[in-house]
Structure 1
Amino acid sequence: MRKPAYQRWLATNSSRPPAIADSTAVISTTVRSLHGNTVMLYNRRHMDLRESRTGSEQYCVLLRGRESSMLRGHTTRTGAGFTIIELLIVIVVIAILASITAVVYAGIQDKAYNTKIVAAVDAYSKSIQMYHIQNGSFPNYGTTWGSCLGRTSDYPATGDWPEGACTIYRSPGGQISHDYASDEFDDELSAFVGGLPDPKVPEVREDYSSGGYSRYRGIYYEHQNNASGSSVADWAYVEYVIKGQHECPNKYVDRFNGQVTFCSRIIWATDGGTD
């Protein structure tokens, strides 16, 4: 049986290798593998190489010894590989996609958390309004003006925070005061809306030019019960903090502070509604 051209060349050590043409496609040659002193050249796309009696720019040859020096200085790559530049581009693209994903995910988390806080404010506002309808006045717990919504256990003692406190106020002169949650208050409100949600919010600090500051970690409640016959209606409001800079529900925006927004919800006794 007649041997293929490249085997006949190996047997005779011909100075010029025969051409083995790719009969299927026109594509540049590529160094595919190195075995000792033998250098194999393969077509990059098609491994089915056939003997050709005519010359071609696309060929597969076997080179031995000094003939392999023909390849020196010829830069190439494997068909399945990447150049360093291509790998760097892939790494940069992956890093960009990862950063975009992280930002989007953080935004989704903040939105979900803010929705949870607003839902808690809705539930507490409803229970406070119903309390006034039944009792003729807004609940009066905590300090003269207000208190924290939720239970004492919602606000554990940690660092500068005493147990049950959702606010820390520091006057310019250095005096410290707090507002506290009341389990009795929470029980009263739970009678109207069972299973009140978690009232905690992201801890935030607000500094004043006078030298004092306020710190918050929960929903704050304040009220004003006016004397019977007064032309001023009873009112109450809750103040809370959400992440990011947003337009607060019910149109009341107190102020922005860094990456949080202070929101207030007014509860009126006259029309049974909230703003």
Structure 2
Amino acid sequence: MRLHVPPQPPPVTVGRRTVVPLIDAAGHVLPPERLLPGLPPADLERLLATDGMRAPMVVTGFAVLGAGTTILVDTCLGGDKRGKRGPFPGFTSRWMTTLAEAGVEPGSVDVVVTTHLHHDHVGWHTTDDLKPAFPRARHLLAEAEYEHFAAGRTRHAERIGECLLPVQEAGLLDLIAGAHRIDDGVRLLPAPGHSPGHLVVEITDGGRTAVIAGDLVHHPLQLLRPDVSSSLCEDPALAAESRRRVLDDLADRSGLFFATHLARSGTVRREGSGFVLDDPLR
């Protein structure tokens, strides 16, 4: 499997803030029949014929800029760690360069949000020599997610430890329980199921609402069929419940939806029993 870096999506304005998607990589990581095994083959083929459903999966982090706070949401794949190869041999992550091109320097970051502890969300928490990449940022993580990792129940635990433990040892890690407010316009909300402590980031500013949803959705097909969870979800039924709840709320508010593995964002609108993304107003 080959990964590549596609063109970066444009930033999106949410009141005084700007959400900047920062794609690290794209590729057909899992075929749809393996990613979405709960769908009968005939239904899967019919839905995949819908426009945009065969787009490659991306790995994206996000910068939330403005209102006096610089926030990062997830840090993608990361590089080699002390000579150990990264999770995709042959792929070199340039995400820190992409971040700099967006005008964000590591020392300017105030908060790093970890939606959950999977290796493609924490890779640049540390540099290649295992030092915190964002040395003055508070790193926020759900307590339930940390406990799951500490109990040895997380895949890729060694890689995640290389990315997380130096941050903890530097005194930069804050564990949170339940909802958590970063400032007057940004809060973290529990959305478990993909993992036990999975979080989403809600931004409300200037009459607009947006959610950076982590792995709430892995494939655009799940917007049309929010009842279908991916094979990567630890609790598929709970993941579907969280997905429906977040999308319903955004549809009620004409809110914006961003997700780690979707190549595009958009305004959530109901269509039949599911949802679609309309192009956001920039």
TM-score category, normalised to shorter length: under 0.3
Larger Rg: 1
Larger helix share, 1 or 2: 1
TM-score, normalised to structure 1, is: 0.22
Using CA pairs under 8 Å that are at least 6 residues apart, name the structure with larger relative contact order, 1 or 2. 2
TM-score, normalised to structure 2, is: 0.21
